[in-house]
Amino acid sequence: MITLSSFDLAIAASLVLLLALVSWRSGAGLERRLLWSALRTTLQLLLIGWILKLLFAQTDPLWIALMATIMLLFAGREVMSRQQRSFGGFWGYGMGVVAMFVSSFSIALIALQVIIQPEPWYLPQYAIPLLGMLLGNTMNGISLGLDRLTSSAWEQRHSIEAQLMLGFTASETVAPLRRNAIRVGMIPMINAMAAAGVVSLPGMMTGQILAGTPPMEAVKYQLLMMFLITVGTGFGTLVAISAGTSRLFDERERLRLDRLKIRAQ
């Protein structure tokens, strides 16, 4: 494997700075967010690299469980923070955490104990990267689905209330919105599977090939991850949309958009 130097990374970082300059000159207004995201990803990846180095040196399940729990809690927060109109308070945060648990933790456990079967099954070299890939990818689908659900409910609030007054149940009025939200949440992974190997080489497969893994072995692991992420995204999106749909109405089936918190853009 070719080792990258700090100078190599500095060249790549200078391209981000160039993009920020172009954004500023063009008036796009993305330069601050772009630079902050670049700084944040640098610090976060350096920190996680140091933590993983310590974890890989031992296999204490308590430390691995702590790391996995922290990743889950942050993922639950990110799910809700990416929406323009999100469910506020602890209820909204809990919805994100539960959806991420269903989509990532449960699928990761099945993969580790039934499919990959490292010894021990919680071996950090497998458990942490696997969980991280599941959390990162399923998080996008779940947040997109919830964002479509809440934005559609807000835009169609008058139509929904009119249907409720005509005698339709809450489930009937929101059914088209629920179906559309689930579809939006699943589209990224469906597109990724359709394009894999033809339009793009997925990240995990590319990384393994660059590290010297035989191409066919890299393909096997990439197929495994694509299937796991798709299943996780599907179940997580279903859980999140079902919970979000019920939260849009109270026990008397009245539309309660006051439960949504509008995020400044």
Judge whether residue 83 has pLDDT over 80. Answer: no
Q: Within this chain, do residues 68 and 80 fall inside the same structural domain, yes or no?
A: yes
Return the minimum-mean-pLDDT range out of 160-164, 170-174, 208-212: 208-212
Does one domain contain both 159 and 66? yes
Alpha helices in 61-102 (DSSP H): 61-81, 89-100
Q: End of a domain among 14, 34, 57?
A: 57
Asked if 180 contacts 148 with a C-beta cutoff of 8 angstroms, the reply is: yes
Do 122 and 250 lie in one domain? The reply is yes
End-to-end CA distance of the chain: 42
In contact, 232 and 239? CB cutoff 8 Å:
no
Please check the confidence at residue 227 and state whether its pLDDT lies above 70. Answer: yes
Residues 88 and 206 in one domain: yes
Are both 123 and 218 inside the same structural domain? Answer: yes
Domain identity same for 48 and 65? no
- Which residues lie across from 200 on neighbouring strands? 196
Give the model's confidence band at 263: pLDDT under 50 very low, under 70 low, under 90 confident, else very high: low
Say if CB 75 and CB 100 are below 8 A apart.
yes
Q: Which of 57, 81, 104 is the last residue of a domain?
A: 57
Do 79 and 205 belong to one domain? yes
26-67 per-position pLDDT tens digit: 888 888 999 999 999 999 899 988 888 888 887 788 888 888
Instruction: Specify the number of domains making up the chain.
Output: 2
- The whole-angstrom separation of Cα 130 and Cα 139 is 14
Q: What is the DSSP letter of 258?
A: G
Q: How confident is the model at residue 38, as a pLDDT?
A: 92
Whole-number Å distance between alpha carbons of 265 and 262: 9
What's the CA gap between 220 and 226, in Å, rounded?
A: 10
For residues 2 and 89, membership in a common domain is answered with no
Whole-prediction pTM: 0.80
**Structural domain that includes position 68:** 60-262
